[in-house]
Structure formats: structure tokens, C-alpha cells
Structure 1
């Protein structure tokens, strides 16, 4: 069974569910620290029938620190049975905090190591767009305030250049989040990802985010990926803001 320790995808709880896992386009407040851990289990329908031991496991650790002046420092580290990857980046939010739409750019660098293939240097470029909203809600039970629908939408795109092999991979992710009663939230993520030599993979990730304290949240989600073959799985994440 392959085991990975890598980045949680992109969300924005510290700013909007306040918003989700990563702040995305929203700048972290000066001195605010966000830390997340997650674990994903995913495999083909045949692997699912064989039990958990036949699934691929993907774990992650992710960090963001608010520097002030609309700057956010980020870092993530991934480790798998055959791969290890570390990345650090600096994000600058172009728009003021009061703007309805938030836009941010980021630049970063890192390194990827693959067993028997050596190390590779990486450069990262990212674009994030986000929008928070609050409006009259339908008469469904459970919405925050019962008569207001609050949430956010976000689009995050990242391109990673492998400067050692001179190849490029990219990932685009769209997120819809809705706050519900008790400080909890519903999230739906749609993503597309392209690695050199592979077909573009598409994914759908619905999840529930539970508030378990003033600064801690737990995410439980489902994962479905469609590429050469279909894969399905589960995700567990823990987020904490300091």
C-alpha cells in the first residue's frame, strides 16, 4: 500500500466559515497561524472491495502564517512510500480586506524526491480568487440564522515547474462552501489536475466540516477521481488556528 504525506487541498475556514482549510485569496491576519493535517484513502472499485489495506493513502501537513501587509507565508510537506515533496511559498493578496472579491498571487519553491529517480527542484506560481456572500436563504432547516445563507466561493490555480526535468504540472480547484447551524459547514470541491505524461484527471470532493472548538475544525469527506480509471475514497482533516 502506498502511503503519502502531502498537501491538503485547498478551502477557507480561518477567514470565512469563517471560510475553509487554506485561506486562499484571503490574507491571514498578522500573527495568525493555521495548521492542518489530513489523511486520504482512495482506490479503484476493485481495491475498495478488497478492504482498506488495498487503498492508496495520502496524508498531509500544511502551514500558513499571516505576516501583515496582505502577505501570507505558506508551506506544505508530502511524504509517500516512493515520493517526498516540500514546498514553501509567499502569497500576496492584491485586494483590500473589505473588497467583496479577493484576488491573490503566490510564488514558491520546493523539492521533490522520488525513490530510485533522485531529487528534483520545483518552482510554483499560483492564482487565487474568492468571494464571500450572505443572502436570504431558502426555508431549509439548519442554515446559520435560519433566514440567511452564508458562505463563499473560491477558485485556486497552481502551476509547478520541475526545473530539473523541465516539465510542468498544474491543478485548478473550485470550492463552494456553505455555513450551517452550530458553526459547521458544507463544502463541495471540483478539481482538474494534469501531470506530465498522464491524462487530465478530474475530481469531485464533497465534505462536512465540524466545529469542535473556537479554533479547531474536523473535516469528513468523500473523494471521486476520474482519469484513466475511476477511484473513490474518504478524507479526514483536522484544522487549527493559533
Structure 2
């Protein structure tokens, strides 16, 4: 199960845009997780909604339930991006097989005209552990505090442990951006558990909207 909880940190990475979502499970008290990566190759003329999309993500368990995090990314060929600090708190922990959590954050969003706006963020997270994997749903909304820019997204994830060294990850994501455009993506990847504290993920992402291009994604994850 510890492997599953670590892998949930990469819910957002596999689709190559925006900050990673850590799912409903809290980070253990005193534990830190750090990740960065992005798409290292593009195909099919990918520009929007899939591009190189570099990102970083870090979180730390403040208590057994409260997790503090920071994330940042750029997307849409550098015309979109954000930087956020946030807190996540489980809701109804231990209620059967389901785990729920809420998250809230404050940061800055890069707008299409090149300016930045202070932005609030709210997330709702659900997860369920399976015998050899997990299921998860993550929803997130953002609202600017001055110009009231807004965007939202939802993502579904299924993870499956193939062997002690390898795990498969399958995802679908849909949402709307700052300009009101709707988008959807699909992603599949494999995770190589190199050591107890370091993993690598290699994945493919394909846009179902926009230019319908895709990307090859590579990320590294550390736990300490």
C-alpha cells in the first residue's frame, strides 16, 4: 500500500499539463516528497493542450492528517502556468474503503495576455485502494481574486501493480481553460520502482481535443 500512496502523487503528471495532484491520501507526518519532469518529446504537431509542460511538485506531512505542498508548471507552449502553495486535509478518513480529502491553495496564474493574477484554488479528492492497485478521482477549480479568471478540471486514474518493480497507470482528464476552451486528454505510463526512495515514470499522453497531438513524458520522484 505504501507504493500506492506514493504513486498517487503523480496523478497530474501523467497528462503533461498543470500541477500534480496527490490524491486523497495524506502524506505521513515528517515525510517529504519531491518531483519534477515534463514531456521530453512531442508528436503530431502538439502545441495545445499538450506541449513540453515542465513542472515541479513538493509536499510535506505537517501532521498525520495535514499536508503542505507547493507546485508550479507551464503549459500551452508557455502561454499558461501557475505557482501555488496549498494545504490538504482528509475528510471522512477511514470510512469504509473510500478516502476523501479537500485541498485549498493560494497562488498566481499566468493569464493569456501575459499578466499574472492572484488566484485561489479548491480541490476535492477521492480514492479507493484495490487488491493490486487503486482508483482515484480528483476535481479542482481556480478563481482569480481581481479579474475573476477561472478554470476547472477533473481527472480519473486507475493504477495497477504489475510486478514488485513495475506499476501501470491509466488516466483520463477533462476541463476548461482560462479562455473557456474545453479540453480532454488520455494518458498511459509505466512506473519503475528503482529503490525505496526513488522512482521513474515514462508515459505517453494524447490530446483528444485541440491539435490532438501527444507527448512522451519523463518524471523523477524522491521521498525522504
1:74: how far off?
1.1
Task: Indicate the structure (1 or 2) with the bigger Cα radius of gyration.
Answer: 1
1:128 and 2:125 matched:
yes
Q: Are 1:100 and 2:97 an aligned pair?
A: yes
- What's the CA shift string for 1:173-226, capped at 9, x where partnerless? 100000121332000010002013343111101000001111111000000112
How far 1:14 moved relative to its partner? 5.5
> Which residue number in structure 2 is paired with residue 24 of structure 1?
23
Q: Structure 1 stretches of 5 or more lacking a match?
A: 1-12, 49-54, 135-149
What corresponds to 2:219 in structure 1? 237
Q: Is the 8 A contact 2:151 2:180 kept in 1?
A: no
1:116 and 1:169 map into 2 onto residues whose CA distance is 16
How many angstroms apart in 2 are the aligned matches of 1:197 and 1:79? 16
Aligned residues: 209
Matched, 1:164 2:149: no
- Is 1:213–2:195 an aligned residue pair? yes
Contact 2:42 2:216 in 1 (8 A): no
Question: Do 1:15 and 1:26's aligned partners in 2 also have CA atoms closer than 8 Å?
Answer: no
**Residues 215, 151 of structure 1: CA spacing in aligned structure 2 closer, same or farther, 3 A cutoff?**
same
Select the residue among 141, 159, 162 that pairs with 1:180.
162
TM superposition shift of 1:116: 6.0
Structure 1's consecutive aligned runs of 4 or more residues displaced over 4 angstroms after TM superposition are: 41-44, 79-84
The offset of 1:69, in angstroms, is 4.0
Give secondary structure in 1 for the equivalent of 2:164.
Answer: helix
Distance 1:200 1:190 in 2: 14
Contact kept, 8 Å, 2:93 with 2:100, in 1: the verdict is no
Q: Give me the whole-angstrom Cα distance separating, in 2, the residues matched to 1:104 and 1:62.
A: 18
Distance 1:98 1:215 in 2: 29
Measured after TM superposition, the shift of residue 38 of structure 1 is 1.3
**Alpha-carbon separation, structure 2, partners of 1:15 and 1:30:** 16
Alignment of 1:46-57 (within 5 A): 46=45, 56-57=51-52
- Higher RCO (Cα < 8 Å, 6 or more apart): 2
* Residue of 155, 168, 171 corresponding to 1:189: 171
Structure 1 CA distance, aligned partners of 2:203 and 2:190? 6
Measured on the aligned residues, the alpha-carbon RMSD in Å equals 2.5
- Name the TM-score, length of structure 2 as normaliser: 0.84
Q: How many Å separate the matches in 1 of 2:219 and 2:151?
A: 25
